[in-house]
Structure 1
Amino acid sequence: MGDVAMTVPVIRALVQQNQHVKVTVVSRPFFQPFFEGIPNVTFFAVDLNGRHKGTMGLFKLYADLKKRNINAVADLHNVLRSIVIRNLFALSGKKVAYSDKGRAEKKALTRAQNKIFQPVKSMVERHVETFKNLGFDIDLTQPNFPEKVKPSEEVFKVCGEKGNTNWIGIAPFAQYESKVYPLDLMQEVIHKLAENNSNKIFLFGGGKKETEQLHALSANVDNVIVVAGKLKLQQELQLISNLDVMLSMDSGNSHIAAMLGVKVVTLWGATHPYAGFKPFNQPLENCLTADREKYPLLPTSVYGNKMVPGYEDAMRTIPVDAVVAKINSNLA
């Protein structure tokens, strides 16, 4: 989800700054709402469970895309499936380019021995380079974001009127445990924020287990609302676009909020913003990281799927008061 969200500001800037360009975004149907409302952008939903399943499905996907008279292909995912498609287009004489994921630099950043602790190029920058290789210049120094969307009736029923309140989103989960702020500390963060009656806090997550944990975190406080399971993706995007700030782990929610121009505070454990996944257009000071003096091998992983023994409590070195203060400073 985060990978797709990081392409949105780049594609939005591409069509705004190159108005003769028409873009077809090829991805899973779930992600279509990310691209709605962007001029000159259409969405092609890949049917991975039906027509486009398996090896023969890739050839059918290529045949379907050829009908759209595509002139060039930008592979922003650079995985086996997309590599096959771009190579088929290349063989037919079309210009292709792909985003280099910088695996060597990321390995140097995360290895235990001879670690090179310095920022690598962000994925957003890599996508800009991909389009440059196709002949399109993109300037992201002054990005344009969509206007805040008026919440639908379904969103209003869950969230109520915004009025003069601060709307704070909190997404406390991530794909890997090494990227999740301890829930007892997160509960302290939520309760401290909820003490201010001017704040309304929305908790994001998915699945039965996460939803149960979110209800435990909310502890029936009136100005803390569990969103999980109540809204569809398109409706969640409406809500997120109206947030004043989002608190997230190194996860997809941070990139969704960032693509909508919302201020984002992120918490980092086994991973680090230097690996190229800092949310778009967010200051580095909004990224609160675990203590590297106490845990010098950090970051231990690019994606959070590798945990070093003894580093399980690394995120406990991010103080609750520091998290609350950072959110409040973004509300000021």
Structure 2
Amino acid sequence: MRILVQRFSALGDIMILLPILQQLKAEHPEHEIALLSRPYIGRLCQDLGLQFYGAQLQKEHKGVLGLKRLVKEVNRDFKPDLLIDAHSVLRTKIISKFFALKGVPTESLHKDRQARKAFLESTNPAQAALAPISQLHLDCFARQNISISFNRDSIKAAPYQLSAEHLQWWEESKAEINIGIAPGARHKSKEWPREKFIALLKDLGRPNRKFFLFGGPDEVEGLRELAKAAEVSFEIVAGKFKLDQEIALMKHLDVFVSHDSSNMHMAAWSGCPVVSIWGGTHPGAGFAPYANEDHMVSLDPGTLDCQPCSIFGTSTCKRGDFACMQDLAVSKVAEKVNSLI
């Protein structure tokens, strides 16, 4: 069977999906599997044994006619027997409709928006926790009679390995203990203050420890200033490595510290222990890092009646002070990190 899976959302969401496709390919080698997503994801698919189709959503595949053209191109080349819509938004629903008109069976992610609303309104988010997004993906395949054994104990680490050049860089750069840090986040409600990260690095700093700072190319100078302010030994990873090489590097680290972000999911998939910092979002919304649920840090339950305030994060705070992050003690994060070293 030729199975086409589509998802175009943020990198963190893709990082949740890829380990499932990795497991699917391992358990069902008889199936041909292709991913339809944004072009930059393509370099991650080859080592997983997946075919890849990159959609130019702002160019030739823009708009309804562009999506129709995309479907025609993919159908001509891959000829899918089944389409899995792992995103279930307007764009992917249009794509699914076009494939259905060509006689291709489709299955889509079931999002329970009412349950998400109830979760945010709950006074006990842990008790009102939603099904993990990974389970929703598995349910998609199960409805098409495709079983995947995917749980905490069966998750395979990402297959990527450092290139010879990057491996040499690592051997020359590493210390006795190596800690990954990703202080950036897309939304302010998910971002621990910069001064907290500086204090954390100062607290964790030792002569035998080195910090590897991750982020986007536009964060390089900010990361450098942060590490210099903390007066610790460091290397800037941001802007130097492609996605597969970043994940490969994470495999070599002793622990990784991140917000609820794509870096959190990348590090978890690499197999590196991940300490994740949570503020305006909550792992009970279904986006906890794989196999690292015991290492999540946030304010104690019940401290704020407005936490969580959103499923995906927001740039505003109804209190006006982002207390969920401002009040999270450095010592609490440092204690968790030190427990894993």
Superposition TM-score, scaled by structure 2 size: 0.88
Q: Which residue of 2 aligns with 1:236?
A: 246
C-alpha deviations, 1:87-107, integer Å up to 9, x for none? 222232222111123322121
Q: CA deviation at 1:290?
A: 2.3
Question: Which of 297, 310, 313 matches 1:304?
Answer: 313
The amino acid across from 1:38 in the alignment is L
Residue of 39, 58, 62 corresponding to 1:49: 58
Q: How far has the Cα of 1:165 moved from its partner?
A: 2.2
Structure 2 Cα separation of the partners of residues 105 and 252 of structure 1 = 24
- The counterpart of 1:193, out of the listed 201, 204, 211, is 204
Q: Which shifted more, 265-274 or 145-154?
A: 145-154
Aligned twin of 1:90: 100
Q: Does residue 319 of the first structure (1) align with residue 318 of the second (2)?
A: no
**Alignment of 1:119 onto 2:126:** no
Q: How far apart are the structure 2 equivalents of 1:230 and 1:148?
A: 16
Using the TM superposition, name which of 296-305 and 104-113 deviates more: 104-113
Equivalent residue for 1:27?
37
Query: CA offsets, 1:194-216, max 9 Å, x none?
Result: 22x332211112243x3232112
Which segments of 5 or more consecutive residues in structure 1 lack a partner in the other structure?
none
Quick check: 166-175 or 95-104, which moved more? 95-104
1:133 to 129, 140, 143: 143
State whether structure 2 residue 258 is matched by structure 1 residue 281: no
* Contact residue 149 and residue 238 of structure 1 kept, 8 A: yes
Q: 2:80 aligns with which of 49, 70, 77?
A: 70
- In structure 2, the CA distance between the partners of 1:179 and 1:261, relative to structure 1 (3 Å rule), is same
Count of residues in correspondence between the two structures: 326
* Match in the other structure for 2:4: none
Which letter does structure 1 place at the counterpart of 2:72?
A: A
Q: Do 1:149 and 1:242's aligned partners in 2 also have CA atoms closer than 8 Å?
A: no
CA-to-partner distance for each residue in 1:75-117, whole Å, 9 max, x for gaps? 1111111111112222322221111233221211113789785
Q: Percent identity?
A: 30
Contact conserved, 1:148 with 1:242, CA < 8 A, in 2? no
SS at match of 1:6: helix
Rounded to whole Å, the distance in 2 between the matches of 1:116 and 1:183 is 28
Amino acid at match of 2:65: M
- Contiguous gaps of at least 5 residues in structure 2: 1-10
The aligned amino acid for 2:157 is F
**Correspondence list, 1:99-118, <5 A:** 99-111=109-121, 117-118=127-128
Go from structure 1 to structure 2 and tell me whether the alpha carbon gap of 1:293 and 1:115 turns closer, same or farther (over 3 Å shift): closer
Residue matched to 1:290: 299
2:28 is aligned to: 18
Aligned residues of 2:251 and 2:272 also touching (Cα < 8 A): yes
Aligned partner of 2:165 among 146, 153, 165: 153
Q: Which moved more, 1:171-180 or 1:160-169?
A: 160-169
Q: Secondary structure at the match of 2:138?
A: helix
- The answer on 1:173 being equivalent to 2:184 is yes
Name whichever of 256-265 and 61-70 sits farther off.
256-265
Distance 1:161 1:273 in 2: 37
C-alpha contact (below 8 Å) 1:254/1:264 kept by paired residues: yes
Q: Hey, what does 2:7 align to over in structure 1?
A: none
Whether the 8 Å contact between 1:179 and 1:268 is mirrored in structure 2 is yes
Cα distance, 1:168–1:101 mapped onto 2, change above 3 Å? farther
C-alpha RMSD of the superposition: 2.2
Give the partner amino acid of 2:305.
Answer: P
The letter of the residue matching 1:56 is L
